[in-house]
Amino acid sequence: MIVRRGDNTFFQIINDYAIHENVKEILRMTGFMGVIDCGHRNVDRALIHALVERWRPETHTFHLPFGEATVTLQDVNVLLGLPIEGDVVSGIDRKYKTHEKHLLFDLCHDLLGYRPLSSDIKAGRLKMTSLYNQLTLEVNANSFDACIIRARVIIMCLLGGSILPDTTTGYVPLIYLSNLENLSAGLSWGSAALACLYRNLCKAASRDAVEIAGPVYLLQLWAWERIMVVSPRLTGPPNMSHFAYGAR
pLDDT tens per residue, range 6-60: 899 999 999 999 999 999 999 999 999 999 999 998 899 999 999 999 999 999 9
Q: How far apart are CA 200 and CA 80, in angstroms?
A: 18
Q: Could you report the per-residue pLDDT of 112-149, keeping only the tens digit for each?
A: 999 999 999 998 899 999 999 999 999 999 999 999 99
User: Domain limits at 45?
Assistant: 2-247
Q: What backbone phi and psi angles, to 5 degrees, belong to 231?
A: -80, 145
What is the pLDDT at residue 195? 97
What is the pLDDT at residue 108? 96
Given a cut of 70, whether residue 99 has pLDDT beyond it is no
Look at the chain and report how many structural domains it folds into: 1
